[in-house]
Structure 1
Amino acid sequence: MTSGFTIIRDTAPADVIPRGGVVAMGNFDGVHLGHRAVIAAALRMARLRAKPALAMTFEPHPRKFFSPNTPQFRLTDETGKLRLLAGTGLAGAVVMTFDATRAGTTAQDFIHHDLIERLGVSAVAVGYDFHFGKGRVGSPSLLVSEAPRLGIEVDVQPHVDFEERPVSSSAIRMALAEAQIANATAMLGGPWFVTGEVIHGEKRGRGLGYPTANIHLDRDCGLRHGIYAVRVGHGKGKDHRRFDGVASFGRRPTFDNGAPLLEVFLFDFQGDLYGAILDVAFIGFIRDELKFDGAEALVRQMDDDAACARIQLAAAPDAFPKLGEIG
């Protein structure tokens, strides 16, 4: 247990699994508003029972198992997802390995072995579209039909809408691909963020007066290339600090048109961040990536971008994802 958030994996001994708990089930990519409705239902049922509420999720994402060679733009990697779940008030998460054995487990075996025998759940919360078990034949209606015989309660949450369409991870991916940051933020219930280690780059920004913290994102990241207003988190606990900034994600067409890279300039910061782990939250979109005739034209545009970012960030003073500690 770390910071009150328990992570239960396949190898966890039985004595660390809280019996009678309430489980919110889902893939939880992004932990968006639809997911949060399921989590809220689990928390309500847990409070009534004086039992812990846990999320149950699967790693790797089932899509990655079934289509390993297809690009998969995840909104959150495993660690990011767990940090978001830890920030919801849940007591912990059950992380189940999704492999050939899991893919071949029938829905009935999953219910009886995993939910009842191993976890000893007293209640389950799911979304209206959650499916599980071999061939995805397990459904909310199956859980509801089995509940009386198993002596558990099942809460099925309807879809949560944004602009008259259901909130979904795929809708958020599409919004990020189109740089619709406000829409993505609304569906997530907070800014989308990435986490990465600051690496050494070409140090061109330093010569231009804009030294940047460079971070490689996942190769399947589908965020639109461009310039963004960002808020950056650094450190943990009482040492956690936040900085406003402006960032470029793309291939640097003015210079080398290389592999995509996130380059973050922190306002009002002095120091060395090489090797540091940063959380970068995307607050607003400024413009598409452009190719400039030379450094002078680029710097003029960077000055304008920084000014625009400050305006956007001033309008969103508290915007940052609510993240919990997981160790």
Structure 2
Amino acid sequence: MELIRNQSQLRPHHQNCVATIGNFDGVHLGHQAILRQLMLQAQQRQLPAVVIIFEPQPPEFFAPQQANARLTRLREKLMALRRYGVTRVLCLHFNTQLAALSAHEFIEKILVQGLQIQHLVVGDDFRFGRDRQGHFGLLQQLGQQYGFTVASQPTFIIEGERVSSTRVRQALEQGDMPTAQQLLGRPYTLCGRVRYGQQRGRSIGFPTANIFLHRPISPLTGVFAVTLHGIHQQPLPGVANLGTRPTVDGTQFLLEVHLFDFQKTIYGQYVEVEFICKLRNEQRFNSFEALKQQIVQDVQVAKAVFFS
């Protein structure tokens, strides 16, 4: 899968394709339905399948302090899109210039001049362009003018409610991992590289893999039973703390994973952590001894999840 980092990197060989547009945060079941329709059209027309996304996401540009926690960072999103056979991802830098484009200008400059799309697939609630003035009817109208067709993907419904990134986020905030998995169509995971930490876990008998997530906030916090992927043929079970570690410093957001009966050094490895179930909320302890006693209990509960 090719990543095109901005409109300025588009070349003649990128033209003539089928495409879809959106944030695709989480790549949940609703997004997957759009991707299936995109891939079907790409196969039928024998054209490349292109996903157009934005970085930062528009809400992060307009109101960064109020923006919701992301479900997926860019790298995680790209990993998910690759699984569905997408040919290319065009990642548009969302800035003042892009935000100022009218819906008509967006279609003309990005979709027509940049990509010469032949077919576009969008969600039935898709809005775009300055002040979100663009809509499906406008796409159909201008598609006739510029020579491309448009299809909308109906809302994906589970248990009478629309599947959305907001709904996934709410499930994660509540620690409801089964519902999050149902909406995503897969377990929720976070990815990152194992870095050197302060060695505090090792000092109390529970060495941890410290994974820096490069995100200021997360929809998920607390202590979890997890599996770690990427360093062994089989996923490795463990217990993880995701948060700011209030007993230690309470500032840096970090994912710490203690793997059961595991002694190898894995610094520098890029890993994926799958969240199985939430054990408790993160909390501050009065001493490291109290923290150690709680970790002993957490390990016992997590092992019961895997081995009972």
Q: Give the TM-score normalised by structure 2.
A: 0.89
- RMSD after superposition: 2.4
Contact 2:28-2:183 at 8 Å conserved across structures: yes
Q: Structure 1: which 5+ residue stretches go unaligned?
A: 316-327
The aligned counterpart of 1:216 is 212
Q: Secondary structure at the match of 1:11?
A: helix
**1:26 deviation in Å?**
0.8
1:68 matches 2:61: no
Aligned residue among 252, 259, 269 for 1:266: 259
Deviation at 1:286, TM superposition (A): 1.6
**Matching residue's letter, 2:270:** I
Contact 1:22 1:52 in 2 (8 A): yes
Mean alpha-carbon deviation: is it higher for 296-305 or for 100-109?
Answer: 296-305
Q: Does 1:47 align with 2:43?
A: yes
Instruction: Map 1:1-327 to 2 at 5 A.
Output: 5-8=1-4, 9-17=6-14, 19-217=15-213, 218-224=215-221, 226-234=222-230, 242-254=235-247, 257-291=250-284, 298-313=291-306
AA of the residue aligned to 2:259: L
Q: Note the C-alpha offset of 1:304.
A: 4.0
CA distance in 2, matches of 1:228, 1:83: 23
- The one of the two structures with greater contact order (alpha-carbon pairs below 8 A, sep at least 6) is 1
Q: Point out the more displaced range, 129-138 or 199-208.
A: 199-208
Shift of the 14–289 alpha-carbon distance from structure 1 to 2, 3 Å rule, reads closer
**CA 313–154 in structure 1, closer or farther in 2 if over 3 Å, else same:** farther
Using the alignment, how far apart are the partners of 1:13 and 1:144 within structure 2?
A: 24
Shift of residue 155 of structure 1? 1.4
Q: Structure 1 pair 11/302, CA: closer, same or farther in 2 (3 Å)? A: same
Normalised to the residue count of structure 1, the TM-score between the two structures is 0.84
Residue identity opposite 1:50 in structure 2? Q
Q: Any idea what SS the aligned residue of 1:126 has?
A: strand
* Counterpart Cα distance in 2 of 1:275 and 1:292: 30
Q: Is the 8 A contact 1:283 1:313 kept in 2?
A: no
Q: Distance in 2 between matches of 1:53 and 1:91?
A: 5
CA 1:151–1:257 in structure 2 vs 1: closer, same or farther (change >3 Å)? closer
SS at match of 1:198: strand
Offset of 1:161 from its aligned partner?
A: 1.9
Q: Secondary structure at the match of 2:9?
A: coil
Cα distance, 1:99–1:290 mapped onto 2, change above 3 Å: closer
Q: Given the superposition, is the C-alpha separation of residues 103 and 252 from structure 1 closer, same or farther in structure 2, using an over 3 Å criterion? A: closer
CA displacement 1:297-325 (0-9 Å, x = unmatched): 6545434433433454579xxxxxxxxxx
**What is the SS of the residue equivalent to 1:147?**
helix
Deviation at 1:241, TM superposition (A): 6.3
Structure 1 vs Structure 2: percent identity of aligned residues? 36
Determine the C-alpha separation between the residues in 2 that align with 1:266 and 1:66: 40
In the other structure, the counterpart of 1:321 is: none
Q: What are structure 2's unaligned runs of at least 5 residues? A: none
